[in-house]
Structures are given as structure tokens and as C-alpha cells.
Amino acid sequence: MRTAASLCLPILFLLAAVSSTQAYDFFYFVLQWPGSYCDTKQSCCYPSSGKPEADFGIHGLWPNNNDGSYPSNCDSSKPFDESKIRGLLSSLQSDWPTLACPSNDGTNFWAHEWEKHGTCAESVFDEYRYFKTALDLKTQLNLLQPLQSAGIQPDGGSYSLQSIKNAIEESVGYAPYIECNGDESGNSQLYQVYLCVDSSGSQLIECPIFPRGKCNSQIEFPSF
């Protein structure tokens, strides 16, 4: 006669195998406001392709767990290979510009994001798909537009954090997490916007957990 254990064990092994192929639960898609990267004490450098457009730029697509932890640098055997993303270069330059110093063409930033975050989602993305998915998400979200329609302009003015969240939620359908940093005088300002994407990278979802950290209730939206 077969015992309960003999029936359950194969199922448990199967479950373990399925869960081990996916070492994360969802993605954060993170966009940065260039004005807020640049007006800090540390300042910034424009990429060699020139000053980016006054728009949100991509920071990264980051695998994350529901408990807030996240994997990183998962596969050193898949270093960034520029030849795989040749067809995306002009989109990457305009939509994923680097602002770090010294001035460079962006390859360092893209390589860092692929190696630290992208290699942790290899079960869904190869390098090309990782970058293409992020570029398509940025186009789909088109974040500046709903903010401007709500009268929230990158003009150095002060806006309520809630009004920023509301404008984005109304347009996207999900509440964003807003990360602030400080300008040179220490004013709290809109630095990064986080939205969440399901583990297959195919659709936006409600964020299972938000990162820690708080903005002031009124924040600056600097020009760029």
C-alpha cells in the first residue's frame, strides 16, 4: 500500500524544483528624474551623446522578493555584451542615459544594471529582452505626461507628494513609490519613481511591497 509520504514526496520535489528556477517574485521598474540627479552636491556629467531630454530616464528593472529582499549579481558567466544590444543603442542613449561622472557613453551604467539585476532574471530575459522590456515599459508609461496634465511641471516648484502619486496612479492604474533625494540646499525632491511588474516581465502589477524611505509631504520638482 502507498503511504501518504510516498505520494507527497514527489510533489514536494516538484514544487522545490519549480520555485528554485525563480529566485524572485516581481520586478521594480525604476525611473530617475535627471534634474534631481544633477542638482545635488555631487552633481552629474552629461553622457557623451549630449544632454538628455528633460524626461524621466530608466534606472533599471530590478528583480525583487515580496519580503523586500532581492538577488543581485547572479551569473558572472553572462557579462554585459554590447554586441547583443546594437539594435537598441539609440533608444538606450535617449531613454536610459547615464548621468554619472566622468562623462561616458552609458555602457558602464547598462553593464552594471544587466550584471547586477538582469542576470538574476535570466529565466525570463536574455540580455536583449532585458533592455527591450525596460525600454517598452518606459514608452508605455510616458510618466511626464500625466504629471504635466495635472499641472505638475519640472519647474523647480513645490508640489504635494500626494498629488504626484495620484497623477501617476490615475494614469498607470497602480500606486507608485516615490523616492526623494536632497538638492544642494537639502530640499526634498522627486528623484525616482518605482512601479512594479510581474515576474514574467509582461505586465504592471500593484507593488507587493514598497522600498523604505520617506519624502517630505511637499517636494520639489526641479527643472533639467
Using CB under 6 A, which of 38, 74, 89, 100 touches ligand 5GP?
100
By CB under 6 A, is residue 29 in contact with ligand 5GP? no
| Minimum separation from the CB atom of position 33 to ligand 5GP (A) | 10
Determine which residue in the list 26, 31, 59, 118 makes contact with ligand 5GP, applying CB under 6 A: 59
Candidate list 36, 56, 92, 98; residue touching ligand 5GP; CB under 6 A: 98
- Contact call for residue 180 and ligand 5GP (CB under 6 A): no
β-pair type (204-205, 218-221): unpaired
| Options 26, 33, 56, 109; binder of ligand 5GP; rule CB under 6 A | 109
Give catalytic residue positions.
59, 113, 117
Strand 26-32 relative to strand 157-160, pairing: unpaired
Q: Do the strands 204-205 and 188-198 form a parallel or antiparallel pair, or are they unpaired?
A: antiparallel
Helix runs in the chain, H state only? 4-20, 34-38, 89-95, 107-116, 127-141, 144-149, 161-172
User: Which of 190, 159, 158 lies closest to 177, judged by CA?
Assistant: 190
Binding status of residue 64 toward ligand 5GP by CB under 6 A: yes
Cell of 9: 514526496
Judged by CB under 6 A, the number of residues near ligand 5GP is: 16
Residue 110 in contact with ligand 5GP, rule: CB under 6 A? no
- 177 contacts ligand 5GP (rule: CB under 6 A): no
Contact pick of 62, 114, 221, 224 for ligand 5GP (by CB under 6 A): 62
Residue 37 as a binder of ligand 5GP (CB under 6 A): the answer is yes
End-to-end distance of the chain based on CA atoms, in angstroms? 74
- Residue 60 within binding range of ligand 5GP, rule CB under 6 A: yes
Contact 103, 46 (CB under 8 A): yes
Q: Are strands 26-32 and 57-64 parallel, antiparallel or unpaired?
A: antiparallel
Give the whole-angstrom CA distance, residue 107 versus residue 116.
14
Please report, as ranges, the residues that interact with ligand 5GP according to CB under 6 A: 28, 32, 37, 59-60, 62, 64, 70, 98-100, 109, 112-113, 116, 211
